[in-house]
Copies of this chain bind each other. A is one copy, B any other.
Amino acid sequence: MKKNKLPAQLLLGPVPAAMIGCGNGDINNIITLAWVGVVNSNPPLLSIAVRPGRYSHDLIRNSGEFTVNLPSVEQVAEADGCGTLSGRDTNKFERYGLTAVRGTLSCAPLIEECPVSMECLVEQTLSLGSHTLFIGRVVASYVAENVTDARGKIDFEKSGLLGFCSGNYLETVPLNLTLGYTLKKDD
């Protein structure tokens, strides 16, 4: 396989197109981020990278809270709009007909219409250059009943989680293969 060497650039994927809920108790906002990842298993920690100039940045910094809501591919327009418009000018919940729901956090709302959600408390904040990295501990997780399988797990056929890579939205389809399946086959 011949590969072309390119200037250093972020080609990681698929990454989530995650709709981040934040607020201050009065205002509820959404920012869609792809720079989201798991950084630790125990305790369960996620990171989200937010530019300091974004309206959501100070809402998250001041409240110490955010939610991570995973849209399905059917919600790609809402996800895209919530990543490009600013909450300074637009109430994104109203514009996109989304419902802010209070979970266990004081300020950061859940997005009712997203099939999977997590609530996070900020544990560490790192300034890395263009972005601030908020590391949050997952304190509660939610899965919609209509994307849950018989064992109580996410049915990835039904959830159709939206992905992203290098400026492009991606659909996800389950391969029906689970972690460690090749080792089990060897036994």
Contact = CB atoms under 8 A, between A and B. Distances in A.
Interface string A25-55: 0000000001111111111111101000000
Interface residues of A, number: 94
Contact of A76 (B10, B13, B177): B177
Contact of A135 (B18, B128, B168): B128
Nearest to A145: B2
> In the complex this chain forms, how many copies of it are found?
2
A15 interface: yes
- Across the A-B interface, give the 4 residue pairs with the lowest CB-CB distance, nearest first: A37-B37, A40-B128, A42-B130, A14-B163
Interface of A: 1-16, 18, 34-47, 49, 68, 70, 73, 76-77, 80-81, 83-85, 103, 112-113, 115-118, 124, 126, 128-131, 133, 135, 137-146, 148, 152-154, 156, 161, 163-183
25 contacts: A3-B112, A3-B117, A3-B144, A4-B148, A8-B140, A8-B141, A10-B118, A11-B154, A13-B172, A35-B39, A37-B38, A37-B47, A39-B126, A39-B131, A41-B129, A45-B128, A80-B179, A83-B179, A84-B179, A154-B165, A156-B168, A168-B179, A169-B175, A170-B173, A172-B173
